Amino acid sequence: MTHSVHGLVPILATPFLPDGTLDRPGLRRLVEFQLTSGVDGVAVFGMASEGFALTLTERQLILRDVREVVADAVPVVAGVNGTSSVTALEQAREAADGGADALMVLPPFMVKPGPDQLVEFYGLVGEFAASADTEVMVQDAPGVTGVAMSAALIVELSKLDGVTSVKVEAPPTVPKVGAVADAIGDEDEFAVLGGQNAQFVLDEYARGSIGTMPACEFPDLLAPVLAAWNAGDRAGARAAFTRLLPLIVHGLQQGIAWAVHKEVLVRRGIIEHTTVRLPAKTLDAGGRSLLDEILAPLDLRAAR
Give the number of residues written for the chain: 304
Phi and psi at residue 165, to the nearest 5°:
-160, 170
Query: Cα(182)–Cα(188) distance, rounded to whole angstroms?
Result: 13
3-state secondary structure of 231: coil
Q: Are 270 and 304 in contact (CB under 8 A)?
A: yes
Residue 112 CB contacts under 8 Å (≥ 6 apart), including other chains:
146, 147
Determine whether the annotation assigns residue 213 to a binding site: yes
Long-range CB contact pairs, 276-284, < 8 A, 24+ = 276/16, 276/50, 277/16, 277/20, 277/50, 277/53, 278/53, 279/255, 280/50, 280/53, 280/255, 280/256, 281/255, 281/256, 282/256, 283/256, 283/259
Query: Cα(204)–Cα(189) distance, rounded to whole angstroms?
Result: 18
Query: Cα(51)–Cα(44) distance, rounded to whole angstroms?
Result: 8
Please count the other Cβ atoms lying within 10 Å of the Cβ belonging to residue 299: 7
3-state secondary structure of 10: coil
Residue list, annotated binding site for pyruvate: 213
Residue list, annotated binding site: 213
